[in-house]
Structures are given as C-alpha cells and as structure tokens.
Amino acid sequence: MTRGPVPKLKVVAKAVDAPDIVVPRHIPVIVRDIYIAAAKVLTEQGRFDIGNQILLESYCAEMATARRAERSINARGSYFGKKGTKPAAHPAVGIAQESRRQCRMLASRLGLIQESRDAGRAASGEFVAAEDDEDFGDV
C-alpha cells in the first residue's frame, strides 16, 4: 500500500577522474562511484592501506544494501497491509536504517566525515585550539 505515485529513480554513477584506482570486481555497480571517490581521498591522505581498503569495501557493501532497500521502499512504499488491518512497516525500512547506521560508523572510522578528521587531528596533537578556548581561569 503506497500513498500516491512513487517516482522512478535511476542511479547514475558519477564520473570520477581516478585512473590509478582499481575497483575490485565484487564491489556492486551502484556504489563504484563511492569506492573511487573515497579511495581517491584516502590515497591523497596516504591512508589507503589494506586495513582501510577492507573497511572501504565493507562501507560500500553497506551503502549498496541501503540503496537497494531504499529502492524497494520507493517502489513499494514504507508501509504495507490489507484493508482493515493495521499497516506494518516495510522490512526494507529497518534494513535501510541499519545499513545507514553502519555506513556512518564505517565512514567515521575511515575519516571520511569532517568531524572525525578533526577529532583525529586533535587526538594526535595536530589541532591547535583557539586562544580564547585555552583560558578558563574566570570560569
């Protein structure tokens, strides 16, 4: 049961200029653009080692799951049920939410989120606090 017409979405991979990055064959087509963009960032930072490559592959697998679940939700709606019964949430809703949560965690571990990069720099001593943040004598 849906509420009105559901738009058809077409996933189009963005062209990313990264000829030296080889995408593993098991990475789904719907997330190859993400793999290339993230691998390019990690390579520029000098952090594209085997550990981060495994994390990136996991990130892409979760993102593919989330995109497929969202495609199912867009096609069939968020709720389903028969007339006269209480509508139930589509199982893909929970799958999409859990996959997105995993994506946020993996993106954070990979340093693809700005706040995570700032926290990493602060922990390593690269981050310099502003002068007014250093002085708490009057508090």
Is 24 part of any domain? no
Is 54 part of any domain? yes
Q: Higher pLDDT residue, 119 or 38?
A: 38
User: For residue 68, what are the domain limits?
Assistant: 29-123
| pLDDT tens digits, one per residue of 60-116 | 999 999 999 999 999 998 988 878 888 888 999 999 999 999 999 999 999 888 776
When divided into structural domains, the chain yields a total of: 1
Let me know: does 66 contact 100? Beta carbons within 8 Å.
yes
Q: Higher pLDDT residue, 11 or 96?
A: 96
Is 2 part of any domain? no
Is 129 part of any domain? no
Q: Which of 105, 13, 20, 17 is nearest to 55 (CA)?
A: 105
Q: Cβ atoms within 10 A of the Cβ of 14, count? A: 9
